[in-house]
């Protein structure tokens, strides 16, 4: 392979790495939108909290003298998912449920408020500076021609791919096969009718928030370990990117969120391959504008049909 194509391959790997974490976060936006038609702007903060919990748990376990990395990571993952889900559930219960049925704009404002609240809560309790964790998952493979360009694929990147694929598969099975997943799909088509048929739709909405938050926590763990630093403000930009991914793929559609995340990640990586990396946000949000202009319902979204 030529030097150029090896370079592109490297960017593709980097793009897919970031893209799969965008996709994990985007699912939370898309599921909530699909069911109650609301953008949960506090979702990025849930991801940030997932990162913080991961760091605290890992540092704590290392401090206690635990050495087995897989066990540490599994404990961190479980704790982060549990705590993030608790936050997700609480946000829904406190800030959104009492406002359900009011004008669409009101829960949106509440969501922005919740986002600011959580961000400042973390600033107050954890400090506003970067928190760093030494790399835990180290090493990797490299291939290609050492005299031209060496492509590296780190174990961390492989871990991101594997965990993302497992999570997506489990989610897809849950939505398509389980009784709760069936009720989720029914709610996203016609929540009023689902309610009339005796399904406790409040429970289904709460479940949506819990599942979305758990996936965001997985992304929090993965990206936190990948970058090695976290601060209380990472949730904002990551949330914005994931939201873009959800809109790109067609908001309300779960496969759309997965696809949108990957496309966004790869676009960013390819942009920073050829232009100064400051341009990557310009290009990714430019892409969003183009999609919205020419295909407003997103890549996999269904065109909006006016409900009578």
Q: How far is the CB of 194 from another protein (least distance, A)?
A: 7
Question: Cβ distance 209 to 88 under 8 Å?
Answer: yes
Handedness of CA 35, 36, 41, 47 (dihedral sign): negative
* Number of Cα atoms under 13 Å in the Cβ half of residue 301: 24
Q: Are the C-beta atoms of residues 57 and 75 closer than 8 Å to each other?
A: yes
Closest CA to 29 of 165, 219, 158, 195: 219
Instruction: Name residue 140's beta-bridge partners.
Output: 154
198 binds another protein (CB under 8 A): yes
> Cα(240)–Cα(96) distance, rounded to whole angstroms?
20
Contact pick of 109, 165, 166, 193 for another protein (by CB under 8 A): 193
Q: How many CB atoms lie within 10 A of CB 64?
A: 8
Q: Are 29 and 37 in contact (CB under 8 A)?
A: no
Interatomic CA distance for residues 133 and 146, integer angstroms: 31
Q: Measured from the CB atom, is 140 or 192 closer to another protein?
A: 192
In the shown chain, the binding pattern of residues 171 to 190 toward another protein, with x for contact by CB under 8 A and - for none, equals ---x---xxx-xx-xx--xx
Q: Does position 65 bind another protein by CB under 8 A?
A: no
Instruction: Between 63 and 179, name the residue whose CB sits nearer to another protein.
Output: 179
The reply on whether position 200 binds another protein by CB under 8 A is: yes
Site pattern 109..148 for another protein (x: CB under 8 A): ----------------------------------------
27 or 122: whose CB is closer to another protein?
27
- Measured distance CA(275)–CA(284) in Å, rounded: 13
Smallest separation (angstroms) from another protein to the CB of 201: 8
Q: How far is the CB of 259 from another protein (least distance, A)?
A: 18
Q: How far is CA 163 from CA 71, 193, 234, 300, in A?
A: 15, 36, 21, 24
Q: Smallest distance, Å, CB 134 to another protein?
A: 35
Q: Minimum distance between the CB of residue 182 and another protein, rounded to whole angstroms?
A: 6
Total residues interacting with another protein, rule: CB under 8 A: 21
The total number of residues shown for the chain amounts to: 308
Among 51, 154, 194, 284, binds another protein (CB under 8 A): 194
169 touching another protein, by CB under 8 A: no
For another protein, the binding residues (CB under 8 A) are 174, 178-180, 182-183, 185-186, 189-190, 192-200, 207, 308
């Amino acid at each position: 392979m030529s030097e150029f194509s090896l370079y592109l391959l490297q960017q593709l790997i980097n793009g897919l790495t970031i893209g799969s974490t965008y996709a994990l976060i985007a699912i939370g936006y898309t599921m909530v939108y699909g069911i109650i038609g609301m953008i949960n702007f506090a979702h990025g903060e849930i991801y940030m909290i997932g990162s913080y919990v991961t760091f605290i748990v890992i540092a704590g376990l290392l401090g206690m003298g635990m050495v087995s990395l897989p066990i540490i990571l599994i404990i961190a993952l479980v704790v982060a998912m549990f705590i993030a889900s608790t936050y997700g559930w609480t946000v829904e219960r406190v800030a959104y449920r009492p406002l359900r049925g009011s004008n669409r704009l009101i829960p949106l404002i509440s969501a922005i408020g919740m986002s600011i609240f959580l961000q400042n809560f973390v600033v107050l309790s954890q400090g506003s500076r970067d928190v760093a964790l030494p790399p835990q998952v180290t090493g990797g493979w490299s291939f290609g021609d050492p005299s031209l360009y060496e492509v590296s694929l780190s174990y961390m990147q492989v871990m991101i791919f594997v965990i993302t694929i497992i999570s997506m598969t489990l989610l897809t099975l849950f939505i398509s096969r389980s009784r709760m997943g069936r009720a989720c799909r029914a709610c996203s088509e016609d929540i009023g009718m689902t309610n009339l048929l005796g399904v406790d739709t409040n429970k289904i909405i709460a479940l949506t928030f819990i599942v979305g938050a758990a996936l965001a926590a997985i992304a929090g763990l993965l990206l936190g370990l990948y970058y090695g630093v976290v601060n209380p403000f990472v949730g904002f930009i990551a949330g914005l990117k994931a939201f873009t991914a959800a809109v790109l793929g067609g908001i309300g559609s779960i496969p759309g969120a997965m696809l949108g995340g990957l496309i966004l990640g790869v676009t960013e990586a390819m942009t920073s391959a050829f232009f100064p990396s400051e341009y990557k946000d310009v290009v990714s949000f430019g892409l969003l504008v183009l999609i919205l202009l020419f295909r407003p319902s997103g890549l996999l979204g269904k065109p909006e049909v006016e409900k009578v």
